[in-house]
Amino acid sequence: MLIEHLPQGRIAAIARDYRDGDHVAPHLHREAQFLYAAEGLMRLVTAAGAWVIPPTRAVWIPPGIEHQIFMSGQVQMRTLYIAADAAPPALDACCVLAVPPLLRELILRLVELDAKGSEDERRSLVQRLILHEIAALERMPLHLPMPRDRRLQAICLALLEAPDSTRTLEEWGLDVGASTRTLARLFAQELGMSFNEWRQHLRLTEALPRLLAGQDVQSVARDLGYGSGRAFSAMFRRLLGENPRDYVASLGLLATLERD
């Protein structure tokens, strides 16, 4: 749905539902976007990388960033379009954000008010409170950056095809014609993380849709190259603060509460 030019300081809220496998083709907006997954999982892809958005989480997209979106499962997307002048200054890049209960309710209320065409003081108050809440949100490590260097690109693209690969950086170096030291330096310079950290983030983004689809932790761990479910759970807990079962259970509970 196209959004007309928003007046200064304004927010528009839209509800859209998608089927499993749906794809929103590359596009951009003059406004900032706050994409919230009330249900289902979305993948946002830009030239800078990919972000995975589980249920009850959101992704921030600054104005003018070309992006495309891939749907996994039945997705209930709730989108806020925010006039560029009202966007929180600290949110100057795409990121996944944890959405607390108060903000979820505010988003749903604004969707309802916009659907009715309301233009009263209550709508203005809801908008202002939404902006305050968004500015204070916690960022989540669900970003998979992509490199510019052709050698790193070759490695990262190969791992995207085979996230279970256990090859070392030295072994990859033999394929792409670079030393381990050079590749390690490039990972730090271009991606802001080590090779192992990038691979862990990749496996996390691959694990979430599988776990949400009902696969058990042991089979997901095995499919992604972990020797045990315990090692996979340790990685998951380190990045997201909870073990896989508790995290998926909490997402399912929150999504259920929102439907009721």
Q: What is the CATH number of the domain that holds 118?
A: 2.60.120.810
256 pLDDT above the threshold of 50: no
pTM for the structure as a whole: 0.79
Print the domain residue range for 176: 147-254
Task: Please give the span between the terminal C-alpha atoms of the chain, in angstroms, as a whole number.
Answer: 27
User: Which residue stretches of 45-194 are H helix?
Assistant: 101-116, 121-135, 150-161, 169-176, 180-186
Q: 19 and 135 share a domain?
A: yes
**Same-domain status, 97 and 164:** no
pLDDT number for residue 4: 52
In a domain, 244, yes or no: yes
Buried b vs exposed e over 132-151: b needs ≥16 C-beta within 10 Å?
ebbeebeebbbbbbbbebeb
The length of the chain in residues reads 260
Provide the pLDDT for residue 250: 77
List of residues 6+ apart from 47 with CB closer than 8 A: 66, 146
Q: Give yes or no: residues 155 and 234 share one domain.
A: yes
pLDDT category, 7, cuts 50, 70, 90? low
Res 258 pLDDT > 50: no
Q: What is the pLDDT of residue 6?
A: 64
Question: Are residues 125 and 167 located together in one domain of the fold?
Answer: no
Rg (the chain; Cα; Å):
19
Q: What is the mean pLDDT of residues 186-213?
A: 92
Q: What pLDDT was estimated at residue 170?
A: 96
Mean pLDDT, the chain, whole residue set: 88
Residue 255: predicted pLDDT: 45
